[in-house]
Structure 1
Amino acid sequence: MRRRQFVRTSVVTMGGLLAAACDGPISSWFGDSPTTAEDGRSWVMPDEGEPHNRTWMAFGASERIWGAKLLPQVRADLATIATTIARFEPVSMLVRPAELDLARGMVGPNVELIATEIDDLWMRDTGPVFVKGNGTRAGVDFNFNGWGGKQEHRKDAKVAGFLAGRAGVETVHTDLVLEGGGLEVDGQGTAIITESCVLDNNRNRGWKKSDVEAELDHLLGIKKVIWLPGIAGHDITDGHTDFYARFAGPGVVVAGLDTDPDSFDYDVTRRHLGILHSATDAAGRSLRVETLEAPTELRARGAGDDFAAGYINFYVCNGAVIAPEFGDADTDSAAEATLTRLFPDRQVVQINIDGIAEGGGGIHCTTQQEPAG
């Protein structure tokens, strides 16, 4: 379950990258002195399963990052994800002006294309986290910094504010550095977060758990954080939550289980299950924990070492759950059955995303929901 380890020529030195990205001292970018947002209002991040206005994506794969061999498949995967979701709700996709015709030919007329410069395709991490409150909506800009300076991000650092403007909502600012993939919420005050990502010095130097919890209470209405350890340094995300555990409803969590003893995630997924089984949510409920085992039969798909072979990175949209299939008949069927049981009012649609998985990502990583007003 290695994720996005393949960053190639896009990797630059930490100091030069951050100085260029934020036009200010690196210490302020990292948030050495935690401060809370100053708008004086409280917001709530809805559960992903609540009604959406639309899904946001980015047609942002490039040869510079993905390589010439993988690029066509990754673009095709993005088109497949977008057109599949568009069967259930509107999809808006950012695309470089020079690639508008290419994107239109791949996604067809039912996906809105918006021309703007972007670095890559990970909308879950670069886009704003949409919140509701005080009779209005907003988008939280969590200061995307290339997963702690591991990839160029000058353009993607502007995506959150740009997208909030396109959605017609205000942007809420914070000193906290966080990616959407590192955050999972139930919409009722509970969040699951990996320590390896949010507490890493490459994002939030000097922040303690209590600092993060106070800020997320104000920004997202989080009253209880369930901290999972995750693993830092083995992938570009430093162990995002959305590859480990997801809410399937209040009090219900579906967690990944790595069955390959040689995988670095083998032990940590078992630690996570132990924590989740003993945890309670913001309402004091013990969690019902379901598991999704990762596929093991991937030879026919030509999977490399970085292939993200897990089912947890599904996406919940209006009326459907969009999930991956990996050609392992047993685990594909088991994942479909589990998701159908957990989301009985939604259609489970499994799609092939091998190109994106080869780059270490999944469906959830490429999407960001905009909740309905």
Structure 2
Amino acid sequence: MKKITSVLLVVLLVALMVTGCGSSATNNPPSAGTNTETPKDGFEIALITDKGNIDDKSFNQGSWEGVVEFAEANTITHKYYKPEEASDTGYLAAIDLAVAGGAKVIVTPGFLFEVPIFEAQTRYPEVKFILLDGTPHTADYKTFETKENVASVLYAEEESGYLAGYAAVMDGMTKLGFMGGMAVPAVQAFGYGYLQGAEAAAAELGLADGAISAIYHYTGDFAETDTNKATAKTMYQGGTELIFACGGSVGKSVMSAAAEADKKVIGVDVDQRYDSETVITSATKGLRASVVQVLESIYKTDSWSTFSGKTTYFDAKNDGIGLPTVVLDQPDGNPFDRFQKFTKEQYAKAYATLVDGAVDPIRTITVADPNGYATADELVSGLKLAIVKVEVR
């Protein structure tokens, strides 16, 4: 009796630390977050959100949409959990709750789950984990290990960023901006690719050295704040025509500033054209597609071994990145209609160079700052820029 009481107390404590929202196999939209009656065997597929919300129009939402698409098509119960605390402890508590709630597969979107999954993969060997945008490791980065019950999925953000920068300059823009969140590998790669794509387009157009200017800035967070809006507003007032908003909800701040200044934005992770008329395109990751593909390997094709115990990159070669090429609910819609000059044909040509390897954007450069904040000189030399002149703020 004492043992049973202790177990119940542990479950209760975990429940108090975490809030759980989601849906079973229903048609609730990704942002609904409504609780439903718990099925007899619990919720089989779970997603744990990171710092953001499930309707963040970015990483959490894109990943959840993949879960919903697959689960509803195959009548599998599913639910998302939002940790009460954005920390390793909070994320592990959410994982504990999901397992206690019947989860057999848990999707974790983002690098913030690298340390929690390192521990969870041993704690729950019978559960399969899909870790997006990260690889499991200890907090001190001394030990990296991806066990057989984990699929680590990474994306070639530098390729998606490259296409965004290329499109902007080919469209005639010469004053660019970049507002990243924290200088983590994925955000860095987006920014580095963006500058390289702008350089490539400028060279193709025969522009002179220094003809393209780019303001490069990290906000230090992934939040929608007055400070981030003010930063974007200042950039626009200084002549910046377009900002690549690469920081989760930072994008909402940038879109708000762009709307007031009648300027443009490039979205990130998912197609954000539906969030604001200011968004001309988005540097996307195949979040939904990659989640569906890994879930299919578990439930339909018996090919979990393709992903388990290793890191799989989704890139241009397997349609893992890109700019949007369709308009949802509009079969004849033109996803390039917010550009002045850049066309779908030009995009297809640029994309093909990534597929065949003719273009291979640099993903990482040497940065002296321990927090990953590159100087203008480091960006110029590391990315081999000449036509693009960079100012870091």
User: Which bin holds the TM-score, normalised by the shorter protein?
Assistant: under 0.3
- Structure (1/2) with the larger helix percentage: 2
Q: Which has the larger radius of gyration?
A: 2
Give the alignment's TM-score, normalised by structure 2. 0.26
Give the alignment's TM-score, normalised by structure 1. 0.27
Bigger relative CO (Cα 8 Å, ≥ 6 apart): 1
